[in-house]
Amino acid sequence: MKTSDFDYDLPEELIAQTPLKDRASSRLLVVNRKNQSLKDCHFHDIIDYLNPGDALVLNETKVLPARIYGIKEKTHGFVELLLLKDLGNDIWECLARPQKRLKTGTKAYFGAENQKEPEHSAMLTATVLDTLEEGITHVKFDYSGIFLEILEKIGTMPLPPYIHEKLADQSRYQTIYAKNLGSAAAPTAGLHFTPELLQKIEQKGIKIIKITLHVGLGTFRPVQVEDVTKHKMHTESYEITEKAAKEINETRKKGGRIVAVGTTTVRTLETVAGKFGKITADQGETDIFIYPGYNFRVVDALITNFHLPKSTLLMLVSAFSSKSLMEKAYEHAVKEKYRFFSFGDAMFIE
């Protein structure tokens, strides 16, 4: 299986640059796997495709203001860090720019009032511990106070590089149910939900269950190799609570569907099911890579956005439906001028 098999042409004007005013007014392409049909709807119509007794499983991770800008000691050169994962003891895995100028032991200062003497007023000091491949860098932070509060003051939302517009309201890159801080990117399938829509879904008799996967490099890193099977996923942290595991198992036992909101939810559920043979309370790290040929154990239906060409996410949805059905769906979406990627429209694969 080749990475190039998952390529497609996308006019640049279809890449959504800003979120819609009303989250639930985005378009929804309903993809029926059984009869291979496509139907154009709006996201608020999702309630019509959920049945009493189903469970809607959400990822309640919260995006960190994970992109910080600073200056190096001595040279005062520009430094950008994208925080990916808390490794403990104030050590973080980051993507660094420009990494080639960050040697082990180099210090950089962030949030300094005086740019000429940043070491005296910096809110954060980062010391490079080591540099790895693909721009990954381990740094140790020194600071006074509470790290996350400092990050809230000096960090910015880590919008993807294909979004060129400035985000006026930072909360629009969070789901309305975001709770557990730790992601370097939003679980974007969930951005379409509003409190009113979730309330209506619950009132219809659909269980809403929340789990956590902190989105990191594993989700958004591009595939660099042509042979899909040679791609190595980076690990991401997840947690399923006792309550969530019990509710998922009860839903399945009663014949309800498990409807995953987003590929991160799919990867969490399938990781735990693959590990234990069933859904159980668990927390840990996952590097699961799902591509065509994978046998799904838990997920019955999927709400997802439109993904980048040649991405692991496009491979996952192609595994869940079929490669040919996804090609048909994406061709239709381009033709009908759906909005693509993080702030774009959604798809429901049933």
Residues 297-310 have pLDDT tens digits of 999 999 999 999 99
Residues 154-193 have pLDDT tens digits of 999 999 999 999 999 999 999 999 999 999 999 999 999 9
Q: What is the mean pLDDT of residues 52-68?
A: 97
How would residue 266 be classed by pLDDT, with cut points 50, 70 and 90? Answer: very high
How high is the pLDDT of residue 336?
98
How high is the pLDDT of residue 158?
93
Residue 322 three-state SS: coil
- Residue 62, strand partner residues: 181
Contacts of 91 (CB under 8 A, 6+ apart): 129, 138, 139, 140, 141
Q: Is the model's pLDDT at 73 over the cut of 90?
A: no
Contacts of 33 (CB under 8 A, 6+ apart): 321, 322, 325, 349, 350
CB atoms near residue 7 (< 10 Å): 12
Q: What is the mean pLDDT of residues 129-152?
A: 93
Cα→Cα distances 156→21, 146, 332, Å: 21, 17, 35
Q: What is the mean pLDDT of residues 6-12?
A: 97
Domain ranges of the chain: 3-63+168-349, 67-154
Q: What is the mean pLDDT of residues 203-217?
A: 96
Instruction: Tell the CATH topology of 3-63+168-349.
Output: QueA-like (3.40.1780)
Is domain 67-154 annotated with CATH 2.40.110.10? no
How would residue 261 be classed by pLDDT, with cut points 50, 70 and 90? Answer: very high
Q: What is the mean pLDDT of residues 324-338?
A: 98
Closest CA relative to residue 62, chosen from 210, 180, 169: 180
Query: Can you tell me which residue has the tokens 């991401």?
Result: 236
Residue 296 three-state SS: coil
Q: Is the model's pLDDT at 116 over the cut of 80?
A: no
How would residue 125 be classed by pLDDT, with cut points 50, 70 and 90? Answer: very high
Q: Is the model's pLDDT at 114 over the cut of 80?
A: no
How high is the pLDDT of residue 137?
95
Cα→Cα distances 14→6, 9, 313, 331, Å: 18, 11, 18, 13
How does 251-285 read in b/e, with b if 16+ C-beta sit within 10 Å?
A: bbeeebbbbbbbbbbbbbbbbbbeeeeebeebeee
Quote the tokens at residue 237: 């942290």
Residue type, 232: K
Q: Which of 58-62, 181-185, 317-321, 341-345 has the weakest average pLDDT? A: 181-185
Question: Residue 169 CA to chain centroid, in angstroms?
Answer: 19
Q: Which of 109-123, 183-197, 335-349 has the weakest average pLDDT? A: 109-123
CB 128 within 8 A of CB 139: yes
Closest CA relative to residue 223, chosen from 284, 333, 314: 314
How high is the pLDDT of residue 222?
84
Residues 78-106 have pLDDT tens digits of 999 999 999 999 999 999 999 888 889 99
Cα→Cα distances 189→7, 23, 270, Å: 21, 11, 18
Peptide bond into 222 cis (omega under 30): no
Run of H or E including 3: none
How high is the pLDDT of residue 323?
97
The average confidence (pLDDT) of the chain is 95
Q: Is the model's pLDDT at 118 over the cut of 80?
A: no
pTM of the predicted model as reported, rounded to 2 decimal places: 0.94
